[in-house]
Chains A and B, each alone.
Chain A
Amino acid sequence: MSFLFPLAGWLGLLGLPVIVFYLLKTRQRRQPVSTLLFWNALAPKVEQSPFWRRLRRWVSLALQLLILALMVLALARPAFEWERTAPRRLVAVLDPSVSMTAGRHQQEAREALLQMIGRLRPQDEMALLEAGASPRILHGWTSGRRSLRDALKEAQQLPVGSDPRPALELARELARLREQAEIVFFSDAVWPETMEKLEGVSLIGRQVSEPINAGITLFAVRRSPVAPGQWQLDVEVSAPHGFEGELELQRDGVPHDLVTLSVEPGGLWQKSWRGDSEAQARFSGLLRVGPGDQLAADNEASALLPALRRLNVLLIGSADPFLEAVLASVAKVAVSRLDALPEPLPPGVDLVMIRGGAPPVAPLPAPTALLLIDPRESGFWGERVGTLEHAPVTEEPGSSRLWQHVRFDAVAIRAAGVWKPAPGSESLASSLEHPLIFGQWDRSPRWMVLGFDLEASDLPLRAAFPVLIGNLLESLRPEDSTGSAALLPGRSESGLKPHPVEQSTEPSLQGGGGWAFPGWWWLLLAAVVLLVLEWGSFHRRVTD
């Protein structure tokens, strides 16, 4: 046995005053009484033997000295042999995926984890992780059971499934910081990704069966990219064990449809609804399941269809009937034309198209986008170094949303400028390495240059022209304005099918055994017990 604070041994000198005060205190006190008549009669019964009288004094003194010795020993922080046994280091990873809420799985996992925390010895350590979408360290290495319990309270339940692999990788990183650290994963083994082998991980709480569950696995509504006024709602129901029931669909709280479902075991049920509306609408679905359904999170879903916003386009320069006709054909677009760019720019303008007018000296402030059609001078967009005649489009734009269904291969361009685009801009289409279309459209401030005049090409006569203008306008709408999808557990989580996992270590809930308290704690406890004993004997006046 060694001591962590041996200087506390000097406190043992307090035993000297204890002895002195005890000897002073043991002098008999004198008590006057009016008569000894009755005490004389009782004396033979009451009087103690001299041996016991002497002994009880020494017992009391010995008890007091023993109490002092135990308290001094406790303060000296002794390290007993049983405390020197190898400490246990655990990295506990908690699976917060929605499948854990099926049945009592989540509660049992937390109880098991609390039990493990409760069994930690003073020399043991534990780190606590949450295997969410991005792994989160709830508590780093610590021996404090209370702080671990508090950290566990901060663990959050996800409404979806989560891939535990990043969390397990992080747990391995943490485990490398301590010798012989173990990783314990509290999970039902229902994961979106397959993990056949858990290397160096003990899995606790694996789902042993496949509980019956049916749930909505897709509930999404979106507007048509080519006809934004039209929307489509897609619903998918998954039932690994088969399902027969009803799906009630509501639009803004009003019943919209009631569908009777019949899903074969392992099958999927899918259906789409379409409609035409520019206003906002909230769709919600309720799957009417039976009493044996295990997961409640996938029985309801809701998605919002945003309202269609009107786009304001400002044409600067001479009139272009082709361009104006194309803009007028796009829904929810307001077009106005001016000869010159007003200073300042009117509020609410989403796109400024300049054809023949004087371009601005700098990009327009966000969110207004700028499209320059065949600018004659150089500017912030780049330097015009010459003219290119009969320029075929040799490099077409990619397949991004902006260039969807746009083909330039048959477009004939009689004359185009030779441009050196400004640094940071992107060449979107070019002719023999001469940029024809360039700019920055994927970040603010947005601007684009069409390096040739529309009248010097047959682009306005091609189908690519209205599609390009339509894509250009739709790209100005916010990303979330086209539709949304309900946050759902997903097929794997709703299926509640545990993955077969091969473990390299056996799961164990055992901590350090019964000696869950440090040695000094036991010494202090013994001192308190003796103190109570001494107090009791003092109270009974047996050893006073």
Chain B
Amino acid sequence: MTELFTPAFLQQLEGLHLLARQIARGRQRAERRSVKRGTGLEFADHRPFTQGDDWRSIDWAGYARTRHLFLKLFEEEEDLYVHLLVDASASMQWGNPPKFDLARQLAAAVAFLALAHLDRAGVAALGPLEQSPWAPGRGRSRFLPLLRYLEALHTGSGPMEMERQMARWLATNPRRGLVIWITDAWGATQEDAFLALDRLRYARHDIGVIQLSHADERRAGELGEFEYEEVEGAGRRTLIVDHAAAKAYETAVRDYEERLSGYCRRHAIAFHRADAAQSPLEIVRHLLLEGGFVP
């Protein structure tokens, strides 16, 4: 394989799969199921019998008690769709190693676990550059082509409008499922990421957010007068940064991150913030233990 997905990395994914199975057994049942009613074994609800309904589903015991015909509804057991949305904006190329590399490794790891769980996993890159998504599919045989797809992804320059990119992806009518958004959450504005999450919520997806950032991004860096140039090409700004300004910067970043985590907590969105210098497998191990990210 390549430097991005080394043999050692792939080998360790197997270990993560075993860990995922142990955790799933511990919970007795899957935490994420389709909300569609159908022919599964799990009872879901009753509803009045109407013409054309399957009479085999009539609850005869209920009829005996109430003299009204009701149908028993069962949960339909179907494949879970796991959509992995990778932020492909220019800011994801920041740092060493670049956040984009880590994002792709995380996407590969989560996709591996989904495919191993016989769920369907798909990948889409959200960024200024249009790149065709990897349609959700099932089976381990899709994993290697998925890795090649991830390797071929790249970031694009230009302003990243998260809400608009999210709207474009939702316009492709993805099946409802688990959406894991791997991003640095640095949008065009401080509201951008929240609006993008709103759109996901309105589409009734289960959501998980993995925020990646480098430590030097959360600090003002060297003091002095600099012409700060954004890598996404959104503009330049000349500033004199002294100790007070540096402290204000760090406070603003911390406030934004706390606001983001608070939003996710409020809306039952799984959220995990990781340092981009961490190992991807270590992050996935954390995700498994926290729950909510992995099928």
**From residue B184, how far is it (CB to closest CB) to chain A in Å?**
7
Interface hits, B195-219 → A, CB 8 Å? 214, 217
- The yes or no answer to A362 lying at the interface (CB within 8 A) is no
Closest to A539 in B: B223
Q: Is the CB of B223 within 8 A of A32?
A: no
Return the 5 tightest CB-CB contacts between A and B, nearest first: A34-B94, A541-B224, A35-B186, A31-B226, A541-B223
Interface hits, A524-544 → B, CB 8 Å? 540-542, 544
Given contacts A30-B226, A34-B231, 13 further A-B contacts (CB under 8 A): A32-B228, A32-B231, A33-B231, A35-B186, A40-B237, A42-B245, A42-B252, A45-B248, A46-B240, A47-B239, A540-B243, A541-B225, A541-B242
| Neighbouring A residues of B248 by C-beta, 8 Å | 42, 45-46
Bound CA–CA A217/B226 (angstroms): 88
Bound CA–CA A518/B81 (angstroms): 87
Of B95, B184, B225, the residue contacting A28 (CB under 8 A) is B225
**From residue B159, how far is it (CB to closest CB) to chain A in Å?**
11
Q: Is the CB of A39 within 8 A of B228?
A: yes
Q: Is the CB of B226 within 8 A of A38?
A: no
Q: Is the CB of B239 within 8 A of A39?
A: yes
> Which residues of B come within 8 Å of A, CB atoms?
91, 94-95, 184, 186-187, 189-190, 214, 217, 221-232, 234-243, 245, 248-249, 252-253, 256
| Neighbouring B residues of A34 by C-beta, 8 Å | 91, 94-95, 184, 186, 214, 217, 230-231
**From residue B154, how far is it (CB to closest CB) to chain A in Å?**
17
Of A37, A41, A541, the residue contacting B186 (CB under 8 A) is A37
Q: Is the CB of A30 within 8 A of B229?
A: yes
* Cβ contacts A4-34/B at 8 Å (1 or 0 each): 0000000000000000000000001111111
- The yes or no answer to A510 lying at the interface (CB within 8 A) is no
**From residue A513, how far is it (CB to closest CB) to chain B in Å?**
43
Of A29, A43, A48, the residue contacting B237 (CB under 8 A) is A43
Q: Is the CB of A31 within 8 A of B221?
A: yes
**From residue A148, how far is it (CB to closest CB) to chain B in Å?**
49
Bound CA–CA A38/B184 (angstroms): 14
Q: Is the CB of A540 within 8 A of B190?
A: no
Q: Is the CB of B91 within 8 A of A39?
A: no
Bound CA–CA A29/B253 (angstroms): 23
| Neighbouring A residues of B227 by C-beta, 8 Å | 28-31
Q: Is the CB of A53 within 8 A of B240?
A: yes
**From residue A307, how far is it (CB to closest CB) to chain B in Å?**
88
Known: A28-B238, A53-B240, A541-B241. A38 touches B252 (CB 8 A): yes
| Neighbouring B residues of A53 by C-beta, 8 Å | 240
Q: Is the CB of B249 within 8 A of A39?
A: yes
Q: Is the CB of B226 within 8 A of A46?
A: no
| Neighbouring B residues of A43 by C-beta, 8 Å | 237, 239
- The yes or no answer to A361 lying at the interface (CB within 8 A) is no
**From residue A251, how far is it (CB to closest CB) to chain B in Å?**
84
**From residue B242, how far is it (CB to closest CB) to chain A in Å?**
6
Bound CA–CA A290/B235 (angstroms): 95
| Neighbouring B residues of A31 by C-beta, 8 Å | 221-222, 226-229
* 26 A–B contacts from the bound complex (CB under 8 Å): A28-B227, A28-B238, A29-B225, A29-B226, A30-B226, A30-B227, A31-B226, A31-B229, A34-B186, A34-B214, A34-B217, A34-B231, A35-B184, A35-B232, A36-B230, A36-B237, A38-B252, A38-B253, A39-B239, A43-B237, A43-B239, A46-B241, A540-B242, A541-B240, A542-B240, A544-B225
Q: Is the CB of B190 within 8 A of A41?
A: yes
Known: A540-B243, A541-B241. A36 touches B234 (CB 8 A): yes
Q: State the majority secondary structure of interface residues on B.
A: mixed
**Which of A37, A541, A542 has most B Cβ within 10 Å?**
A37
**From residue A137, how far is it (CB to closest CB) to chain B in Å?**
61
Q: Is the CB of B230 within 8 A of A35?
A: yes
Bound CA–CA A509/B225 (angstroms): 57
**From residue A35, how far is it (CB to closest CB) to chain B in Å?**
4
**Which of A30, A36, A47 has most B Cβ within 10 Å?**
A36
Q: Is the CB of B223 within 8 A of A39?
A: no
| Neighbouring A residues of B224 by C-beta, 8 Å | 29, 541, 544
Closest to B91 in A: A34
Bound CA–CA A39/B256 (angstroms): 13
**From residue A294, how far is it (CB to closest CB) to chain B in Å?**
65
| Neighbouring B residues of A40 by C-beta, 8 Å | 237
| Neighbouring A residues of B243 by C-beta, 8 Å | 540
Of B217, B245, B256, the residue contacting A45 (CB under 8 A) is B245
Q: Is the CB of A32 within 8 A of B91?
A: no
**From residue A30, how far is it (CB to closest CB) to chain B in Å?**
5
Bound CA–CA A540/B225 (angstroms): 11
Closest to A538 in B: B224
| Neighbouring B residues of A35 by C-beta, 8 Å | 91, 184, 186, 217, 230, 232
Bound CA–CA A26/B214 (angstroms): 30
Closest to B95 in A: A34
**From residue B211, how far is it (CB to closest CB) to chain A in Å?**
13
Interface hits, A478-504 → B, CB 8 Å? none
**From residue A51, how far is it (CB to closest CB) to chain B in Å?**
13
| Neighbouring B residues of A47 by C-beta, 8 Å | 239-240
| Neighbouring A residues of B221 by C-beta, 8 Å | 31, 33
| Neighbouring B residues of A541 by C-beta, 8 Å | 223-225, 240-242
Bound CA–CA A286/B241 (angstroms): 82
Bound CA–CA A205/B223 (angstroms): 62
Q: Is the CB of A33 within 8 A of B241?
A: no
Known: A36-B234, A39-B237. A540 touches B226 (CB 8 A): no
**From residue B96, how far is it (CB to closest CB) to chain A in Å?**
12
Bound CA–CA A41/B91 (angstroms): 18
| Neighbouring B residues of A544 by C-beta, 8 Å | 224-225
| Neighbouring B residues of A46 by C-beta, 8 Å | 239-241, 245, 248
Bound CA–CA A41/B186 (angstroms): 13
| Neighbouring A residues of B234 by C-beta, 8 Å | 36
| Neighbouring B residues of A42 by C-beta, 8 Å | 245, 248-249, 252
**Which of B221, B224, B232 has most A Cβ within 10 Å?**
B224
Bound CA–CA A48/B238 (angstroms): 10
Q: Is the CB of B187 within 8 A of A37?
A: yes
Bound CA–CA A544/B241 (angstroms): 11
Bound CA–CA A64/B55 (angstroms): 97
Bound CA–CA A38/B223 (angstroms): 16
Q: Is the CB of B237 within 8 A of A38?
A: no
Of A36, A45, A542, the residue contacting B228 (CB under 8 A) is A36
Bound CA–CA A39/B246 (angstroms): 10
Of B184, B190, B229, B239, the residue contacting A32 (CB under 8 A) is B229
**From residue A314, how far is it (CB to closest CB) to chain B in Å?**
104
Bound CA–CA A418/B186 (angstroms): 137
